[in-house]
Structure 1
Amino acid sequence: MAASKLAVGVLGASGYTGAELLRLLEQHDRVQVEVLTGDRMAGKQIGEVFPHLAMQKLPKLVKIEDVDFAALDVVFCCLPHGTTQEVLRDLPHNVKIVDLSADFRLYDPKLYHQVYGHPHAAVELQKEAVYGLTEHYRDKVKATRLVANPGCYTTTAELPLVPLLAEELIERDPIVIDGKSGVSGAGRSLRENLLFAEAADGFSAYGVGNHRHAPEIDQCLSEFGGGKVEVSFTPHLVPMLRGIFATSYVRMKDGVEVQDLQERLEEAYADEPFVHVLPPKSLPSTKQVRGSNHCLIAVHPDRIKGRAILLSVTDNLIKGASGQALQNMNVMTGLPETSGLTIGPLYP
């Protein structure tokens, strides 16, 4: 007898992360997409919004207030930051939630208020949230009903740093993270700086010294680092469609060599299906993970003695968003973790 399928709803299906999630869910044989929301697009077929999804048999987009959440097993929330808490706080307790916004990533509601400029609207629900960096929070993800899916910059930076801090191979300070993102990381809304004539043939920094992902990175690294970590993080916009490249500069503990970092990362991710440590001094590229749920990591010695450089790449819409969300859903529901995620990178 065939196993029953999970009834899934995607809130905010008219954005890039929603579209990528639907593309991945098409490959998953244990889910049935029952609900799609997109308030401004309500009443339309998804193929009218994203023609590349027209071949999939999916329900029409509806407004959130028209959704019967009690009929769903899992909800993916792809709504904009600041809009998710009020939607999710009253959902039935049987519904498992993967939130792709930043609304539940920060444990401290006061810090959330400080970073995002408005009070947290679901403080009680926040207490249940588990940070969804799957490879390092897997057991907690299994036991929760609400996963706060990490951001794309944070995922890409944290994966190489967490094992090294946990084993006390690198110092907590300084850690400098130079991040670069494709334009899809900013979402689908119309913004002047994302117009082709503005973004093409250029390279620009933004959020310098105060990007909202920095406290998320600090929180995660501090958990594994045995003390307070505050990183220097600068993001940059690169004129490519998708991809995240994080270059992290670290200082090693006394007596630690670059080879020790290499060996620790290889050990940490030896059995992980989506995180791959390349041979020493490799040069990963965002194209090598494009369209996939994979992260590539490379370790390099710095010319300055006692320091090292970590390179990591992901696809911001997959491992940095929708793919990791599906990975977390699989863990939450006891399904094989790679279900719906075995698609390889697109190249060139």
Structure 2
Amino acid sequence: MSDHSDMERGSSSQINRRSVLRGIAAGGTAAVGVGAMSGTASAAEEQCVGGLNLVEPAEDYPVVVRDPGILGIGAGGLSETGDMPQGEDEVVIYIHGWVELLTGGAKAQGATVQQALRNAGSDIATMAYNYPSSSPNWWGQKGGAEKSGRKFASWVKQYQEENPDTDVRLIVHSLGARTGSGLLDELVNELGGEPVRSMEMLGGAMARDTVTVDGEFGDAIANGAEEVNNYWSSADNILDEILQIGEFGTEAVGAKGAPEDAETPDNYNDIDVTGIVDGHCLYYDPKEGCMETVVENFPEGFQGGGDSGGFFDDWF
């Protein structure tokens, strides 16, 4: 079910387009070498640190961390830091994108998402998942992100079992969309766990056809969540310009949505936020982002901190 809503395009971008293109030119073919990585990373850093209203996280902000190994090679077990939410009606798990260390860090990004949710009127508990994402090898990071999602699925399943009355939502950004999709597939299709309440994809850095019924993550989306909402913006320069070069012209679901003529799972929705989001890291900006729209699109009555009214139980 692909629902492309129309919104007016923003008038300006947080990224200087010429500087982004200079970064691409310096990197040659992009995404595989350090030169290309630096072009992407500098654009992301300019916007995601300099242009984003990042929030200073509390010392005890909860994060699940995957052992990074060396540049993602040999990444292994999971550990917890901070005060994990227990016994909540709902919890949001935020999953970051590529070059997390250059874009504020998973902990600060998670705290920023939490503040954006608060500004949107939701008091839902939040936490973050920090997986290795800083290797300059884009294609290796694609596979590594999915593997990290699958690794995290066992933790999520255990958390659901320990907190059976807590509904889990995922908010995933950029490459984190691949992490979240791998998580859903592993959680439900491989481990036999319960679907999460929803997955909200912000500027998803994966191909448009991956979310279709016959696509790479079609089954994961159909079975792994009650609802999957894809927030895309054609003003997302990093996806619209840089990612396409690294992917040899493949367009991202976060820049265009699913293919217009393709069949998507019934629980999948495309939401065009071009008129709200004017850059790759601004989706979850507390002042300029689209988190109010995200909260509005949570299933009715489930915006954090409230009684579920039995709706989710009835859904199963």
TM-score interval w.r.t. the shorter chain?
0.3 to 0.5
Instruction: Flag the structure with higher strand content.
Output: 1
TM-score between the two structures when normalised by the length of structure 1: 0.34
TM-score between the two structures when normalised by the length of structure 2: 0.37
